[in-house]
Amino acid sequence: MITTSNDMASYPIPVASAPPQADDLIAGPRLPKELIGSSVFLLKRLGDAVRERAMADFMAAGCNPYEHAVLALLAEGARETQAAIADALKFDRSQLVGLLDDLEGQGLIERHRDPNDRRRHVVTLTAEGKRTLTRRRAIFTRIEDEFLAPLDVESREKLHELLLQLASHHDARYGTGEPAS
């Protein structure tokens, strides 16, 4: 299991399950108003819920979100070093090697020595990797659609805009060009 450097602790892999039903949503004691009133608390709880659902669905499909992240990154172009992949995704560099070995064993990526620097490997997505990524994107889309079902299109767009604004404020890699604090 990959552990990322931004404290994404390893977590148990849940068994695949159906989306929650109305009865599931009202079970259990009510949370304290103080916690319900905290946006950070809600983000944490929702993040946990979507992560559990994503892991269950990915594992049922025979893949994992860490592999998906690497494939999505490589879909944007080859990376000059394995370290560049680890840094972009905030994965532990030593654990990324095993993940890349698995992806290469599945025929989803290729690693070739950089002709300009024999110490480095260029990592690229294979044709099978592209097809696999397309199938895995469908899983992500389904998870997102199910999780965000209570929101209309306009609300989803606004939520995404606000989340991206927060993410880019704290981490410049999210692409708005604003410096991280």
Q: Which residues of the chain have pLDDT under 70?
A: 1-27, 176-181
Instruction: Provide the CATH number for the domain around residue 146.
Output: 1.10.10.10
Which distant-in-sequence residues (6+ apart) come within 8 Å of 35 by Cβ?
41
Give the model's pLDDT for residue 178: 43
CA distances in angstroms from 160 to 61, 128, 134, listed in the order given: 26, 30, 22
Exposed / middle / buried, residue 25 (Cβ in 10 Å: 0-12, 13-18, 19+): exposed
- pLDDT tens figures, 103-125: 999 999 999 888 888 888 889 99
Give the model's pLDDT for residue 117: 83
Task: Assess if residue 55 is contained within a domain.
Answer: no
Give the model's pLDDT for residue 23: 45
Domain extent for 157: 65-173
Task: Assess if residue 112 is contained within a domain.
Answer: yes
Task: Assess if residue 36 is contained within a domain.
Answer: no
Task: Assess if residue 43 is contained within a domain.
Answer: no
Give the model's pLDDT for residue 27: 65
Give the model's pLDDT for residue 25: 55
Give the model's pLDDT for residue 131: 95
- Tell me how far apart the alpha carbons of residues 92 and 32 are, in angstroms, rounded to a whole number: 37
Q: How many domains does the chain have?
A: 1
